[in-house]
Homo-oligomer: A and B are copies of this chain.
Amino acid sequence: VTLPITFLSDYGHDDEFAGVCRSVIAWLAPDARVVDISHGIPRQNVLRGSLMLQRSLPFAPPGVHLAVVDPGVGTRRRAVVIRTADEERLLVGPDNGLLMPAAERFGGPSAAFDIGRSQFALDGAGGTFDGRDLFAPVAAKLAAGADPAEAGEAFDASELRTLKLPMPSLEGEALRCQVLDIDGYGNAATNAIPEDLPGLSAGVMVQVTGAATVRLPYAIAFADVEPGLPLLFTDSSGALAFGVNQGSAVNRFQFRPGDEVLLRVL
C-alpha cells in the first residue's frame, strides 16, 4: 500500500523548488498521491509554518507529511522523521520545531529518526537544497513502504527541538493574548481559544486594548454583524480571531503577527 504525502513549504510559487520536490517524489514513488497544503509560508518563518501544519494535518489522511521551512539548511541542525503516537503518521522535515505542534495533535512523537545521512538521499546532494536532495526522497521512500528505521538512525525523541509558542495569560478578568496568524481575507487569529476568556458568550461586547483599541461583539458568524463591521469570532481552527464582515480586520486595525492585545468582556 502506498501512503499519501502532504507537502508544505516556504518555497513560494514562482520558483521551481516545490515542483522539483514533486518531481523527485513522482520518480521514486510513482503511485503516491501528493497533496499540496501550501507553499506560501512567509520565507523561513518556522512558527507560521508550524501553525499551518498543525491546523491542516487533522484534515489530511494518515500518511507521510513533508514540511520544509528550513532557515538552518546547511548547518548542523538535524533532519528528521517523526512517528506520531496516534495514527503512526510520519512527519519529515528539519528538526527546528516546525513539525512538533502538528505531532502533538497526534499524541506527540513515539519515535524519531535522524536522516541526515540517509541512504535515500540523492547522490551529490550539496547541502543547499535539502528539500530536493533529502526530504523529498525520504518522504517518497516512506510512502512507498520503507520503514523509518531504513531512512535514518533512531534517537531519543525527547531530544527533538520544540518551538516556544506564546501562551495567553489571564490578568484578572482580562486575557492577554497575541496575534499569531493573518490570512488572505484579512482575519487575524490569536493564540487564545474561547474558553480562555472569562464571560465570553455569543453577543457580548469585548473591549480590545493594545495593538488595536476598540469595542466589538463576539459573534458566531460574520453575518451576525452588519457588512463592514468588526467582530471577534472563533475561526475554523478554534482560535479567537478578529474579522470584519465582508472586509479585512488587518486593513482596519493594522494587526501584525506578534502584536499583543488585552481582551475583556464588558
Contacts and interface: CB of A to CB of B under 8 A. Distances in A.
B126 A234 contact: yes
Interface residues of A, number: 59
Given A14-B184, A19-B56, 7 more contacts: A20-B56, A20-B59, A30-B33, A73-B222, A75-B221, A127-B220, A128-B234
A233 B22 CA distance: 25
A35 interface: yes
A24 interface: yes
Interface string A2-21: 00101010011111111110
Contact of A6 (B17, B23, B55): B23
Interface in A231-245: 233-236
Secondary structure at the A interface, as helix, strand, loop or mixed, is: loop
A223 interface: yes
Contact of A129 (B14, B52, B71, B236): B236
B61 A27 contact: yes
A226 interface: no
A206 to B, nearest CB: 18
